[in-house]
Structure 1
Amino acid sequence: MATNTCAQSAESVYIRGIYSKDEFKTPVTGTLANFGRPGYGTQLLGELRYHWGHSGCSATDYTENLFENVSAGVGNILLLHHGAAANCSVIDMALKAQENGHADACVIIDELTTSDELPGTLAHSGDKHDYLSSLMLTIPVILATFEVGAALAYYAQTEGHLVEIDFQSSREKTYSTTVDVQFWSGSFGCDTAQCHLSDRFLHRLSENLLWLEHNNRIRFTPRYTVYTCPSGYDETACNGQCLSGGRYCSLHPGYAGYTGRNVILLSLHSLCVHSVLNSTGAPWMWHSWLNNFKYQCTMESGNFNVNCSDRIFTELGTHPTELDAVHECVGDEDGVHPLLEENEEERVRQNVVYHPTLVADGVQYRGSLNETTASQFICSAFSADYGKPPICQPERTFGLCDIGQEGSQACAMNPFGATTCVEKKSGFYDCECPAGYEGPTTFIPGGHKVLISECRKVNHCKTHCLGDDMSCTNLIEGYTCSCHNGGNYLETEDSCNIEKVSSSTSLGAGAIIAIVFSVVILFVVMVAVLVKKITSMPDWLMATFKRFSALQEESPGASASSADAPPDEEAGAEDVSPSDEEPIPPTYQEATAAANNV
C-alpha cells in the first residue's frame, strides 16, 4: 500500500491591490477554508479593513469606526489575526466577522502557519460547536500566512483600501467539454452524525451530478477511503473490520450487529455497481441506485447487505446479465480487488485526508457542505470557450428558500432573528429580517454601514406623525396616522390639512345658523304675502267663496233642512230676490281666475 507523501491539493485565491504601486503589483495568494461560502468563478471588489489591536473573537471588537468612509457598491473585507493569543477558533472568528463586522469576506492571518500547513489548519476541526457555527457562515473565508498578511496590512494602511479577490479557479481549464469529478466518502455506511451529513450532502448534490453526467458534461466516480490493518493488531481483530486478511479495512460503523467488514464489502459492491453501469453507457443510474439503497437498505432495518443492494439494482430495470457482472466484479471477498487498489492509488495521488471531499479536475473543493456552492465549484471548472452547462448559468435559481430546503432551514435557525430567506440569482441566499423588523445590516446615505447586531422591530412612529394634532399607530409594515378634528393626513408633508378640509368639505356653526335664519324669513314673507292676497279680495268675491263653501257642505241630491237654517234667515229667504240692477255673480272658474290675478 502506498503512503501519503505529497502535500494536500487545495484551492487558491488571488488578492491584489487596485491602487498598488510596487510591492503589491503581483497578486498574493491565500487558501480557501473548508467552511464558509467561496464565490467560485467570481471576483469580489471590496475595501480591506485591517482589524489591528482586537482579537476579533468578541462582538465588542467590531465598532462603528471600523466602517468609516466605506464606499457604496463595494464589499467589506476584514483582515484579522489568529495567533497563539486568540481565544476562539478560526470558525468562530469568521462568524463574528460576518455577523458583527458585516464582512462580505474575511482574510485571517495565522502567524504560526506556513504555506504548506494552510490546508490542514483550515480543515474542519470536527468539534460540534465549530460544526454548528460553520453552518451559519455564508461568506468566503481565506487563510493567509504571516508574510502574505503583512503585505496586505501594509497595503491597507499606506496605499489604499480597495482590493480584488479573484475566486476564479487556479486550476488549468479543461480543453474539453467534460470535467472529471470524484466524491470521496469516509466509508459506505456508518451511523454517525458525520456520515449522515456526508450522505445528505451527496444526496442533494446528486440532482446536478446526474444531469451533468447524463449530458456528458462530467465523468463522475465514487470513491471510498480504505485503510490497511495496522501492525500489532491480531488476525481476529483485523478480520472483523477488513477483507483479504487486513488488506482492505473500514472503521466500525458504530451500529450493533455490523462491523467494518460489512462496510468495506458494500463499498466494493458500490464501486462494482458503478463500473457495470458505466460500461453499459448509463453511469448516472448509480445515483438512483445509491439514493434508493440509502433509504431502503439501512442498518436499523437490518437490510444493510448485498441482497438488498441486488434488489435495488434489479428494480432499476437492468438486465440480469448486468447483475451477474456485478457479482463477478466483487469476486472472492478475500482476494485482491482491482477497484479497491485503484481507489487507494487515487487517494494517495489526490492526497485526500478529509471526508467528504469533492474533487474536480484534480482540485479539491473548499467550503461548507452546501450543494449550491459545490455546484458552483464544479461549474467553475468548465472553460467558457466551450460553453458552460445550462445549470451553471447565473440566472438559474435553485429553490434554496423553498420549505424544507437549505436556505429556509438555515434562516429559521438564524440567531439574530433574520428568518426571511431571500434567494439570489447567483445561487446564494440571504437571511433577512422579516417584515416590520430591521438589521442586522443596514445602510445609511453615503453607503456607510450601521452596526445592528440583531433584527429589531421597526417603530415608524418615531419618525412619522409627530404633530400635536396627530395620533400614530405602528403596524407590522408601515403605520397609520389620524388627525384630530377630522383632518386629512398628508403623508408627503407629514402634516394634517385641517383648514383645507374645513373650507371644502365641512360647514361651520355660523353658516348653519345663517341658513336656518334665511329659511325662517322666507317662510314669514310667504305667509304675509298670502294673507295680503286674501284680505285684499273684493266683497263680491268673498261672498262667492262663502256661497260656494256652503254649497260644498250640502249633501248631494237633498235640500237643506229648514230646521238646520237659522229662523231669521229662513223667514226672509223667500223675500229676497235679485233686482234687475244687481250684477250677475261669476262662475266658480271665473272667481278662481280673478283671485289668481289679484
Structure 2
Amino acid sequence: MARRLAAALCLAVAAVSVAVATARFVVEKNSVKVLSPRSLRGRHEAAIANYGVPDYGGTLTGVVVYPADARLADGCRPFGEAAAKALRSRSRRPVVLLVDRGGCYFALKTWHAQLAGAAAVLVADGVDEPLLTMDSPEEETPDMAFLANITVPSALVTKQFGDALRAAASAADDEVVVRLDWRESMPHPDERVEYELWTNSNDECGPRCDEQAAFVGAFRGHAQLLEKRGYALFTPHYITWFCPDAFLETTQCKAQCVNRGRYCAPDPDGDLAAGYSGRDVVLENLRQLCVHRVANARNASWLWWDYVADYHLRCSMKGDHYTRRCADDVAKSLGLPMDLIDECMGDPDADVENDVLKTEQIVQVGHGTRGDVTILPTLVINNVQYRGKLESTSVLKAICAGFKESTEPDVCLTPEMETDECLNNNGGCWRDEKTNITACKDTFRGRICQCPVVDGVQYQGDGYTHCKAVGPGRCAMNNGGCWKGTRDGKTFSACSDSDLSGCKCPPGFKGDGLHCEDVDECSEKLACSCPHCSCKNTWGSFDCSCHGNNLMYIKAEDTCIAKNMSAFGWLVTTLVLSCLAGAGVAGYVFYKYRLRRYMDSEVMAIMSQYMPLEGQNGERLPLREEAQVEHA
C-alpha cells in the first residue's frame, strides 16, 4: 500500500510541476544534405536521437539504402547475414539506412541497423507532424542491454522527405548520396565552453543512476583538466519537485520533502516504510550543490567531481552508508569545511524557502535555446541539450565541438577525437617549402587555411595560395619573401626591417624586389664619367680610379684631384692661414680693452639716472673691476 501511495504522490507532484512550469521542449537538430541525384538536391532538417553517438562537430557522407524486403522496412527485426549483404552500397560508401517509423522502439531499429553494418540511421516519420526527439525507453528491462552498445548516430526525418528518399533509394538508378552534418548542431561562439549536468545522488534508480555514476567517474579527469585551465565552466544541477498543498500533512509528503513540502524527491525504493527516503535524497542533493558552491568560493570548483565520485563509492545506499556521517568523511578528506557546507544548506525543517533549491527549480525551466529539464540525466552544453549516450568520450567530443575554431585545447585535437587534415597534402593550404611554415591549422571541425604568426612575425595573405611576412622582424623569416644574394663574401637583400612590407632592390641592383640583378654603372654611364676616370664594374657597386699616380677620385663630385701640391702652393696656403689667425687675435683684443670698457661706462651712466646707489654721492662707478683700476 505504501508503495502505491508513493507512486501516486510522484505522479501528482509531476503533474502539478508540469502545469505550473508549462513544460517546453526543444528538438535538437542536424542537417541532411542530398548530394545526388540532382532532382533531390537540397538541405533538410533532422531531429537528433537521444541515444547512440551523434558526431558533434563532424560530418558523414554516405549512401541511403532502403530494405527491399518489406518485412524489414521498419527495422524491428534483425536483418540477418543475407539481408545485411544486400544493404551494402555499390560505391562502397558508408550506408545510411532508411527505415520506417513504428512497430518497435526507435533504439531497437538503430541497434539492428548497426548490427547490419550501417554507419547511420534515418527514421522516416509516417505522419505529417513537427519533428520530435527519438528517445530510449524510460523503463529499461534486462533485454535492453543493447542500449549501452549503440554507437551509430540516428535522426528522425519528416514524412515528405522520407517518402522522397524511399522512392529514390528503391529505384534502380543512381545511388542517393547524402551528407549528415553536425557541425552547427552545437553552438561554438568563443574559446570557453559552459556546460551543466542535471543529475541525482540516488543510486537505486536502476540503469539511469548507474549510467550517471559511471560517467562522473570516467569523465572526472577531463572535466577537472578543462576547468583548471579555464577552458570550461561547469555547473551541477539537481531536479526537485514540490508537494501539493492537499498532501502537506501526509506521511508521503513528510517522508519525501524538506522545508514543508517545497522541495521533494521520489522514494528511492518506492517503500516509505523501509530503506532511505526521498527526504534523504533531497538533503544529499542539496549537500552536493553546497559542496560545489563552497569549493567554487575557494577557487577549486572541480572538487565537486571528486566529492561525487568518492561519495558514490564510499556512501552507497546498497552498502547502507548513504548518511550524513559518510558525507562528512568524504568532505573532510578533500579539505572541504563542513561548517560552511552546513551553513549553505540551511534548515531543512524550517517553513521557509531554501535559496539554493529554489534557484534549482527556477533554472530547471527552459530558456533561450534550451528546453525544460524533465528527465535525468540531462547534459546541457552552451545552452543546448546534449543528445546521445552519456559516455566520457562522446561527451568530450560534444564539448570540443563547442569551442570556436582554432581555440580548442589540446585534448580535443588527439587522434581519438578528430583527424588531422593537415597531414594530407597540407590540407590544400599554402606552405613555404624552405622553412616548412604552413597556413594549415588543425581544428576539431576540420582544417582552416589561415596565414600564421611565427616567432612574433605575422604572415598575411589568403592562406590558400600565398602568405607573406609583414611587420617588424619579417626579414628574419625567409628574408620576408624577398630576393637575397651572396657573392665574394658580400650579401645584399631586398628586404628592409625599416619597411613593414614590400621588397625593394638595394642600391646597385635593379628589379622588382623578388628578383634583383646587378646594375653595370660603368657601361650605363651612371658613375665614373670624368675625363681622367677609369671605371670597373663590381657586383652591387663599382670601382673608379684616376689616370696617373698624383690624382685621387672624389666619388661625391665624380672628379679627380691632385694628391700632392707644389711648394709655392703650400707657401700661399700658410700665408692665408696666418693672416686669418692674426685677424682673429686683433679682433679679440679690440673687444676686450676698448669696446667692452666703453659699453660698461654707458650702462652705468644710464643706471645712475634712474637708480642712484646709496653711499656713493651720485658718483658713477665702473661695472667691472678692471674699469676701477684704470680710474685709480
2:344 is matched with which residue?
Answer: 329
- Given the alignment of the two structures, is residue 362 of structure 1 paired with residue 393 of structure 2, yes or no? no
Question: CA 1:186/1:309 → structure 2, altered by over 3 Å: closer, same or farther?
Answer: closer
Instruction: Give the letter for the 1:200 counterpart.
Output: A
More RCO (CA 8 Å, sep 6+): 1
CA deviation profile, 1:148-200 (whole Å, cap 9, x unmatched): 3124334544774111000214243222x211111112454535343223211
Question: CA 1:230/1:110 → structure 2, altered by over 3 Å: closer, same or farther?
Answer: farther
1:280 is matched with which residue?
Answer: 298
2:325 is matched with which residue?
Answer: 307
Trace 1:389-400 onto structure 2 (pairs within 5 A).
389-396=409-416
1:94 is matched with which residue?
Answer: 110
For residues 180 and 114 of structure 2, what CA distance do their matches in structure 1 show? Answer: 17
Q: TM-score, normalised by structure 2?
A: 0.57
Question: CA 1:345/1:130 → structure 2, altered by over 3 Å: closer, same or farther?
Answer: farther
Instruction: Give the letter for the 1:128 counterpart.
Output: T
Trace 1:192-591 onto structure 2 (pairs within 5 A).
192-230=206-244, 232-233=246-247, 235=249, 236-254=251-269, 256-318=274-336, 322-333=337-348, 334=350, 335-349=352-366, 350-385=371-406, 387-396=407-416
Question: CA 1:20/1:383 → structure 2, altered by over 3 Å: closer, same or farther?
Answer: farther
CA deviation profile, 1:230-286 (whole Å, cap 9, x unmatched): 454351320110011111000101184311011101111110110111111110111
Instruction: Give the letter for the 1:24 counterpart.
Output: R
For residues 33 and 60 of structure 1, what CA distance do their matches in structure 2 show? Answer: 21
Q: Displacement of 1:375 after TM fit?
A: 1.4
Q: Name which of 44, 61, 64 aligns with 1:48.
A: 64
Q: Name which of 178, 181, 185 aligns with 1:163.
A: 178
Trace 1:33-182 onto structure 2 (pairs within 5 A).
33-51=49-67, 53=70, 54-60=73-79, 63=83, 66-67=86-87, 70-72=90-92, 74-83=93-102, 86=103, 88-100=104-116, 102-112=117-127, 114-116=129-131, 118-119=132-133, 121-129=134-142, 131-156=144-169, 157=171, 160-175=175-190, 177-182=191-196
For residues 216 and 124 of structure 1, what CA distance do their matches in structure 2 show? Answer: 37
For residues 125 and 45 of structure 2, what CA distance do their matches in structure 1 show? Answer: 14
Instruction: Give the letter for the 1:340 counterpart.
Output: L
Q: Displacement of 1:66 after TM fit?
A: 3.2
1:577 is matched with which residue?
Answer: none
Q: Percent identity?
A: 27
Q: Displacement of 1:147 after TM fit?
A: 2.5
Give the number of aligned pairs. 386
2:98 alignment partner, SS class: strand
Equivalent pair of 2:216/2:305 in contact (CA under 8 Å):
no
For residues 128 and 86 of structure 2, what CA distance do their matches in structure 1 show? Answer: 27
CA deviation profile, 1:544-587 (whole Å, cap 9, x unmatched): xxxxxxxxxxxxxxxxxxxxxxxxxxxxxxxxxxxxxxxxxxxx
CA deviation profile, 1:457-484 (whole Å, cap 9, x unmatched): xxxxxxxxxxxxxxxxxxxxxxxxxxxx
Question: CA 1:143/1:122 → structure 2, altered by over 3 Å: closer, same or farther?
Answer: farther
2:32 is matched with which residue?
Answer: 15
CA deviation profile, 1:416-472 (whole Å, cap 9, x unmatched): xxxxxxxxxx9xxxxxxxxxxxxxxxxxxxxxxxxxxxxxxxxxxxxxxxxxxxxxx
For residues 396 and 122 of structure 1, what CA distance do their matches in structure 2 show? Answer: 27
Q: Which runs of 5+ in 1 are unaligned?
A: 399-425, 427-598
Q: Displacement of 1:131 after TM fit?
A: 3.3
Question: CA 1:113/1:328 → structure 2, altered by over 3 Å: closer, same or farther?
Answer: farther
* Larger mean Cα displacement after TM superposition, 334-343 or 191-200: 191-200
Question: CA 1:131/1:182 → structure 2, altered by over 3 Å: closer, same or farther?
Answer: farther
For residues 302 and 29 of structure 1, what CA distance do their matches in structure 2 show? Answer: 49
For residues 283 and 113 of structure 1, what CA distance do their matches in structure 2 show? Answer: 47
CA deviation profile, 1:87-146 (whole Å, cap 9, x unmatched): x3222221111113x101110113147325x12x43443231563121222211112231
Q: Displacement of 1:383 after TM fit?
A: 1.2
Question: CA 1:165/1:323 → structure 2, altered by over 3 Å: closer, same or farther?
Answer: same
Instruction: Give the letter for the 1:140 counterpart.
Output: P
For residues 231 and 141 of structure 1, what CA distance do their matches in structure 2 show? Answer: 43
CA deviation profile, 1:63-99 (whole Å, cap 9, x unmatched): 2673465213x2111111023xx2x322222111111
Instruction: Give the letter for the 2:124 counterpart.
Output: I
Q: Which runs of 5+ in 2 are unaligned?
A: 1-16, 419-443, 445-632
Instruction: Give the letter for the 2:55 counterpart.
Output: G
Q: TM-score, normalised by structure 1?
A: 0.60
2:484 is matched with which residue?
Answer: none
Equivalent pair of 2:88/2:95 in contact (CA under 8 Å):
no
Q: CA RMSD in A?
A: 2.6
Question: CA 1:135/1:172 → structure 2, altered by over 3 Å: closer, same or farther?
Answer: closer
For residues 68 and 291 of structure 1, what CA distance do their matches in structure 2 show? Answer: 44
Instruction: Give the letter for the 2:223 counterpart.
Output: L
Equivalent pair of 1:91/1:130 in contact (CA under 8 Å):
no
Instruction: Give the letter for the 2:108 counterpart.
Output: D
Q: Of the two, which has the highest radius of gyration?
A: 1
Instruction: Give the letter for the 1:96 counterpart.
Output: H
Instruction: Give the letter for the 1:388 counterpart.
Output: E
For residues 41 and 178 of structure 1, what CA distance do their matches in structure 2 show? Answer: 16
Instruction: Give the letter for the 1:95 counterpart.
Output: W
Q: Displacement of 1:56 after TM fit?
A: 2.5
2:235 alignment partner, SS class: strand
